[in-house]
């Protein structure tokens, strides 16, 4: 049904309000009516263009944000690949320098070159070289010496730190008391055997000195005092690998021992037995009797089993 002019005008004003426009009635000269109508149309066109621009800007910002996120992700991945390649080159350079240090006879304090010299010599970037230096310092192969005339110099690895690191790894692998005991049984018989065969006059004196120092020990003795004899024997074996491995197992033995928590009377009895067996092992070594020395070692470790947990 056709609407009246009044109804059409009311509907028109409702639409205008919805669009944010207001209908204003003005009286103007006839000759200015066309100009005013043109002005009103231009205003409506500008408002529509503004709303469209805002929507377009929002879409543009979203596109830019997506591009930035994608570029950052690509950049991060690329950076990771760069560091991975640098790490691989650093590891390779560590091996090269280690071989060089070994060929030089591992003379501690010998200079290997400045940063600039090493970068030029091996054709690597400063990033790769500095990663290499960090690894060399971590392994105790070499270290940077600062100051005038400084540079990378050969260093001496710390055996204590190495033994501690291996011990921690074995603890992580859940090494148990029986594993420790059996490993120690094999290693200590090997160290006693080698030490006895290679015993010098100076070595004999060290054994006698250790036995003498133990004579005054009782249940209050610490692990260092009670294990001194075993470290001496490992050292006298003359085998660096045996010395290192024996040291690791001795540290693990102490970590798994319940000696310190036992009553004082029990500890006194244990220390008395330890001193006796140490003396018997030493006497057999001094007599160059490898078989007897190893037998006393086995006897010692058989009794040690009850102190591990």
Same domain, 176 and 257: yes
Say if residue 257's pLDDT is above 70.
Answer: yes
Do 308 and 183 contact (CB within 8 A), yes or no? no
Give the CATH number of the domain where residue 239 resides. Answer: 1.20.120.530
Identify the domain containing residue 109 by its residue range.
84-154
The Cβ-side half-sphere exposure at 103, using a 13 Å CA radius, reads: 7
- Would residue 125 count as lying in a domain? yes
253 closest CA partner among 152, 180, 169: 180
Torsion over CA of 180, 212, 233 and 301, rounded to 10 degrees? -30
pLDDT band at 54 (very low <50, low <70, confident <90, very high): very low
- Would residue 34 count as lying in a domain? no
Domain boundary among 126, 154, 182: 154
| Bridge partners, 145 (sequence order) | 151
- Would residue 145 count as lying in a domain? yes
Same domain, 181 and 283: yes
- Would residue 170 count as lying in a domain? yes
What distance in Å separates the CA atoms of residue 131 and residue 94, rounded to the nearest whole number?
Answer: 9
Same domain, 221 and 253: yes
- Would residue 166 count as lying in a domain? yes
Same domain, 170 and 219: yes
- Would residue 27 count as lying in a domain? no
Q: Burial level of 242, CB count in 10 A (0-12/13-18/19+)? A: buried
Domain boundary among 154, 183, 209: 154
What distance in Å separates the CA atoms of residue 167 and residue 106, rounded to the nearest whole number?
Answer: 26
Calculate ∠ Cα 283-248-184, nearest 5°.
50
- Would residue 69 count as lying in a domain? no
Do 135 and 87 contact (CB within 8 A), yes or no? no
pLDDT band at 160 (very low <50, low <70, confident <90, very high): confident
Cα 236–chain centre separation: 34
* Least trusted range by pLDDT, from 4-13, 76-85, 115-124: 76-85
| Bridge partners, 143 (sequence order) | 153
Same domain, 210 and 89: no
pLDDT band at 87 (very low <50, low <70, confident <90, very high): confident
What distance in Å separates the CA atoms of residue 48 and residue 41, rounded to the nearest whole number?
Answer: 11
Do 243 and 235 contact (CB within 8 A), yes or no? yes
Same domain, 296 and 217: yes
Domain count, the chain: 2
177 closest CA partner among 246, 269, 267, 258: 258
Same domain, 129 and 200: no
Same domain, 127 and 189: no
Same domain, 165 and 191: yes
Same domain, 164 and 276: yes
Same domain, 289 and 164: yes
* Least trusted range by pLDDT, from 14-18, 25-29, 232-236, 292-296: 25-29
Q: pTM higher than 0.85 for the full model?
A: no
Domain boundary among 127, 154, 181: 154
- Would residue 257 count as lying in a domain? yes
What distance in Å separates the CA atoms of residue 122 and residue 112, rounded to the nearest whole number?
Answer: 12
Give the CATH number of the domain where residue 108 resides. Answer: 1.10.10.10
What distance in Å separates the CA atoms of residue 42 and residue 48, rounded to the nearest whole number?
Answer: 10
- Structure confidence at residue 307 (pLDDT): 81
Same domain, 149 and 275: no
């Amino acid at each position: 049904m056709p609407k009246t002019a009044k109804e059409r005008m009311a509907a028109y004003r409702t639409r205008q309000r919805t669009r944010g426009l207001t209908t204003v009635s003005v009286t103007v000269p006839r000759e200015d009516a066309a100009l005013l109508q043109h002005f009103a149309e231009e205003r409506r066109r500008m408002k529509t263009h503004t709303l469209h621009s805002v929507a377009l800007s929002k879409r543009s910002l979203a596109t830019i944000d997506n591009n930035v996120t994608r570029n950052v992700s690509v950049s991060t991945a690329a950076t990771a690949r760069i560091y991975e390649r640098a790490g691989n080159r650093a590891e390779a350079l560590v091996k090269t320098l280690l071989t060089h240090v070994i060929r030089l006879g591992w003379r501690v304090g010998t200079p290997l070159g400045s940063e600039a010299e090493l970068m030029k010599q091996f054709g690597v970037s400063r990033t790769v070289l500095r990663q290499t230096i960090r690894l060399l310092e971590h392994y105790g192969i070499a270290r940077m010496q600062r100051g005038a005339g400084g540079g990378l110099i050969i260093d001496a690895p710390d055996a204590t730190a190495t033994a501690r690191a291996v011990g921690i790894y074995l603890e992580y692998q859940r090494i148990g008391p029986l594993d420790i005991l059996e490993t120690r049984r094999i290693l200590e018989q090997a160290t006693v055997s080698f030490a006895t065969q290679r015993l010098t006059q100076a070595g004999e004196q060290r054994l006698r000195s250790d036995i003498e120092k133990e004579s005054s020990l009782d249940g209050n003795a610490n692990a260092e005092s009670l294990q001194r004899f075993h470290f001496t024997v490992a050292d006298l074996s003359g085998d660096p690998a045996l010395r290192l491995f024996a040291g690791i197992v001795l540290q693990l033995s102490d970590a798994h021992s319940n000696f310190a928590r036992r009553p004082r009377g029990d500890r006194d009895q244990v220390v008395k037995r330890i001193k006796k067996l140490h003396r018997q092992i030493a006497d057999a070594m001094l007599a160059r009797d490898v078989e007897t020395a190893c037998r006393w070692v086995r006897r010692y470790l058989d009794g040690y089993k009850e102190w591990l947990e």
